[in-house]
Amino acid sequence: LFVDAALGEGQSVDLTREQAHYLFGVMRLGQGARVALFNGHAGEWTAEVAEAGKRGGRLAVLGQSAPQLDPPDLWLIFAPIKKARTDFIVEKAAEMGAARIMPVQTAFTNSERIRQDRLQAHAVEAAEQCGGTFVPAVEELQRLDRLLEGWPDDRQIMFCDEALVGAREVLGAAGGGKWAILIGPEGGFSDSERKRLQAMPQAHAVSLGPRILRADTAAVAALTLWQSTRGD
């Protein structure tokens, strides 16, 4: 269970109404039951149900059960698409160990607005589901051109586009430990965005295969290829 609280032996954690409903209503836990907790940066902790109510409750933290494990330093940058598909991208990126999830507005972005809080909640649920102790930060929507303006020299971009070179080939050959994956919207990238990226030494245009994948499929394919080539 993710809790927005400091974790330490003897600490007491108050539960929100939703957490109480999940633990006591859905999971049917009662007083004395053990619960695994994490807050995103302090590993996993075992706690005991001290008070169980319909609208809230309290957990008593017993001790640490696993150290903090952070994912590789990988960012996922993508242009948001339809709501359900954007939710899917965030959920899968969190499950697959992206450290930062960055929605961007591109020339052909289909969606001009996102609900960052909703997407962050999806990332929390995904981390809970896969037993991780890390929750990636989902950022507010920002413009791709602005993001590229201040792009760090030491971070490579796996720029997913119509390219002649396969992702494995590029990822295998390119140096540098820090990476970002960039996925375009349904309409792809504009000519000026392509030119801009092609001029950046950090950006490597890669193909994900001969078929045009939907953006959500492309995000999962790119994350998988990155994980299998460079991840740990």
Cα–Cα distance, 157 to 202 (Å, whole number): 6
Q: Report how far residue 210's alpha carbon sits from residue 204's, in angstroms, rounded to the nearest whole number.
A: 18
Element (H, E) at 179: strand 178-183
Any contact of residue 190 with ligand SAM (CB under 6 A)? Answer: no
CB of 72 to ligand SAM, least distance (A): 21
By CB under 6 A, tell whether 218 contacts ligand SAM: yes
DSSP bridge pairs for 105: 143
And the tokens for 167?
Answer: 């992702």
Work out how close the CB of 176 gets to ligand SAM at its nearest, in angstroms, rounded to a whole number. Answer: 21
User: Does residue 144 belong to the site contacting ligand SAM (CB under 6 A)?
Assistant: no
- Per the listing, tokens 């020299």 go with 153
Look at residue 129 and give its three-state secondary structure.
helix
- Provide, rounded to whole angstroms, the least separation between the CB of residue 62 and ligand SAM: 46
Nearer to ligand SAM, 85 or 100 (CB): 85
Work out how close the CB of 130 gets to ligand SAM at its nearest, in angstroms, rounded to a whole number: 24
Binding of ligand SAM by 213 (CB under 6 A): yes
d(CA 133, CA 26): 22
Chain positions contacting ligand SAM, by CB under 6 A: 160-162, 183-184, 186-189, 207-209, 211-215, 218
